[in-house]
Amino acid sequence: LEKAKGVKIEDFQKLKVFIGIEREQAMDAKRKETRLAREKVVAAAKEVLQGKVDEATKTLEAIIAKVATIEEAEKTLLEGFTGTSDEAFKKCDEIEATSKEYREELEALRKVPQTWTENLEPELKVFCSALSQGLEMKIRAVEGKLNKASYAVTRARAENQKKAITEVIETENVVLSILRFHRMEKALTAEALYAEIHSSEEGAMDYFEFKAFIEKCERPPVPPAAKKEEVKEEENGDVKKEEEGAEAELVPLPSEDDLVKVFRSWTAAAAEGTPEPQAEDHNPPSLSKEDFCVLVKILMKVVAEGTMTETMDIAEGGTIRRLEVGEIVEVLSGPEMEDSAKVQRVHCKALKDGQVGYVSIATNTGTKFLEDGGYFWTVTTEAFLSTALAASMPPPSGGKPPRKLKLGEMVEMRTIPEMDAATKMLRFKCRCKSDGATGYVTLSGPGGVYLKAA
């Protein structure tokens, strides 16, 4: 084309191609500039999103660190907790409250990615979705740990419920040992002991009367520990033996919290979930004379054959019958000193046949006829707990199946055995030592003996 004033016809197509190429190169440069500018904007947006994800991840890591403390508490609760059931329940409450707090934090964190998509460019939504899914997976992993902690708390509560029952039973045994000791020391009937606690003829014994009495009544001594001999070396090198064992201490009183639990377990109000009695209560749970007298019954086991007589005086009283070794008697009153033989005697009733008379606790030379026992019984024939004294009464419809008593299981006698007229079975209300379940069980009947004194 050089110096020509026009374009030859045969070169015109070539000119069009050159112009087209130049135009495309210019457009490509412009598109590249636009693309690079766009990529720069997207990269900046991604960096902002990544910063938000990093911030959310940092928050999540803080929650994970706090959840680790729950995992440690959960492990301690299930494997190495040595506190009381109350302390265990408190620990369960703390774990549940903390877990709830962390769950709320996780739920709040889960909603954060929703704010990332506001005014977001379409090409960034896929990138944002991937980041959100990664965060969600981490949140679910933490929630799994919290779910495990919740399961552990449920399991711990179930285990500690049994422990709580055992603790109440153990405390009750201490309280009853104190009440029975006071009764024997003062030679009181069960009714007289009740009157000493609740002097009014109206109403029934309340918790505060019970507490005031238990704090001042006679208490038995703690069984003396086995005496040990210590070898002490004196300054001059001689070796001296010294016996340990001071005067026996009295059985310590349970704490007020434990006393409340025991008293509530004795009252019908406890079954209704009534709040624990407070000092300002005007009408705290009460205990009737009938229920109290059953609780403070004194049972003794015959350990040597003896006789039951009609009167306190051995010489003047006629013989009712001989008592066999292993029999159980309920002390109605006493003990009192029989002047002629100089022995302690009790007015009692034989559980075997209901015969009432007087029996010596021991001879004047120390040979025992009776000793404490008869409260706990071992199952010798598999049976079921029933809800009523009558053995033939069917269980309530729609309720739980009756509790089965296994061979060798231990039960505590709660009421004095009574005869079921329909079946001729001697039955009493008991409490299972293993789980605190209560109900009626057969002691003996036409089919034989179903329990034996432990």
Asked whether the beta carbons of 428 and 443 are under 8 A apart, the reply is yes
Both tokens of 185, joined, read 């020391």
**What angle is formed at CA 285 by the lines to CA 279 and CA 289, rounded to 5 degrees?**
125
Beta bridge partners of 405: 383
Query: What local confidence, expressed as pLDDT, does residue 168 receive?
Result: 87
Query: What local confidence, expressed as pLDDT, does residue 402 receive?
Result: 82
Query: What local confidence, expressed as pLDDT, does residue 396 receive?
Result: 59
Both tokens of 50, joined, read 């990544």
Asked whether the beta carbons of 361 and 344 are under 8 A apart, the reply is yes
The Cβ-side half-sphere exposure at 143, using a 13 Å CA radius, reads 13
- Kindly report the three-state secondary structure assignment for every residue of the chain: CCCCCCCCHHHHHHHHHHHHHHHHHHHHHHHHHHHHHHHHHHHHHHHHHHHHHHHHHHHHHHHHHHHHHHHHHHHHHHHHCCCCHHHHHHHHHHHHHHHHHHHHHHHHHHHHHHHHCCCCCHHHHHHHHHHHHHHHHHHHHHHHHHHHHHHHHHHHHHHHHHHHHHHHHHHHHHHHHHHHHHHHHCCCCHHHHHHHHCCCCCCCEEHHHHHHHHHHCCCCECCCCCCCEEEEECCCCCEEEEECCCCCCECCCCCHHHHHHHHHHHCHHHHCCCCCCCCCCCCCCEECHHHHHHHCCEEEEECCCEEEECCCCCCCCCEEEEECCCCEEEEEEEEEEECCCCEEEEEEEECCCCCEEEEECECCCCCECEEECCCEEEECCCEECECCCCCCCCCCCCCCCCCEECCCCEEEECCCCEEECCCCEEEEEEEECCCCCEEEEEEEECCEECEEEC
Tens digit of pLDDT at every position of the chain (454 positions): 456 677 777 777 887 888 888 888 888 888 888 878 777 877 877 887 888 888 888 888 888 888 888 888 888 877 767 788 888 888 888 888 989 998 999 998 888 887 877 767 777 778 788 888 888 899 899 899 889 888 888 888 888 888 888 888 889 999 999 999 999 999 899 999 999 999 888 888 988 999 999 999 999 988 765 333 344 444 455 544 444 445 668 889 999 888 988 898 888 544 444 444 544 444 557 888 988 998 999 999 999 998 999 999 888 878 999 999 988 999 999 899 988 888 999 999 998 888 999 999 998 888 899 998 889 999 998 888 888 888 766 665 556 778 889 999 999 898 888 888 888 888 999 888 888 888 899 988 888 888 888 8
Q: Please give the Cα distance from 421 to 293 (Å, whole number).
A: 24
427's CB contacts (< 8 A; 6+ apart) are 389, 391, 417, 418, 419, 420, 440, 441, 442, 443
97's CB contacts (< 8 A; 6+ apart) are none
Residue 122's alpha-carbon distances to 114, 131, 132, 173, in angstroms, are: 15, 15, 16, 75
Residue among 256, 178, 266 at smallest CA distance from 216: 178
CA 40 to chain centre: 64
Query: What local confidence, expressed as pLDDT, does residue 284 receive?
Result: 56
pTM attached to this predicted model: 0.68
Asked whether the beta carbons of 441 and 450 are under 8 A apart, the reply is yes
Q: Please give the Cα distance from 171 to 214 (Å, whole number).
A: 13
Q: What are phi and psi of 419, to 5 degrees?
A: -85, 130
**What angle is formed at CA 48 by the lines to CA 42 and CA 51, rounded to 5 degrees?**
140
232 class by beta-carbon count within 10 Å (0-12 exposed, 13-18 middle, 19+ buried): exposed
Both tokens of 7, joined, read 């374009």
**For residue 441, how many other CB atoms are within 10 A of its CB?**
25
What angle, 0 to 180 degrees and rounded to 10, lies between the N-to-C axes of helices 256-266 and 207-216?
130
Residue among 204, 212, 197, 205 at smallest CA distance from 256: 212
